[in-house]
Each structure stands twice: as C-alpha cells, then as structure tokens.
Homo-oligomer: A and B are copies of this chain.
C-alpha cells in the first residue's frame, strides 16, 4: 500500500462499524446474543450458556438489546409464569456475521493455531 493511501487511511471509522463494535464491545454482549441464536431461552438458560455472566450484567444487556429491538421478551401466562427471551428479526439478521466470526475463530484462535 502506497504512502498516499496510507495517509488517507487513518480517518475515524464509519458510524455503523463504530456502533456494532460498541455493542459487541460491552461485556458479554456477543456471548449473550450468540446464546440466543440457539433459540428462545429463559434467563437461567442464558446463564448456563454463558458461564460466568452475573445476574446484573445479564439483566443490563437484555434490557439494552430490547431497547435496540434485537431481543424480545415473551411472558407465557402459566403458573409459574414462563419468561423467554428470543431474537427479533433484527437480532436474527446478525447470524451470518456471527457465523463468519465463529468460522474465523475455529481456524485462527484454536489452542493449537
């Protein structure tokens, strides 16, 4: 890459890229979204999928995801109530990117890589 291109290269990152990296850069965010890519899950099921996440952080992230309309929360009126979290279409649309990341990690971040 030539010097001119290199000089032009240090502009601030594009807005959408910043936004998604800010989203995934929050603690456990990517792991929680990935867990929900397996299907609808209850709070404690998410916790089992993401060992180490605290109740506080999980609640915080799920709230943020709902605000961004990436995750929806459904209450089934049984006794006891059944509360499930699932990806919205918008959250589901992240799957190809997450699949690409996983693929890359398998090839490049394995213990022996």
Contacts and interface: CB of A to CB of B under 8 A. Distances in A.
A29 interface: yes
Nearest to A5: B39
B41 A18 contact: no
Number of copies: 2
Interface residues of A, number: 57
A78 interface: no
Contacts of A51: 12
Interface string A86-113: 0000100110111011111111111001
Interface of A: 1, 5-6, 9-21, 23-31, 34-35, 38-41, 45-46, 48-51, 68, 70, 90, 93-94, 96-98, 100-110, 113
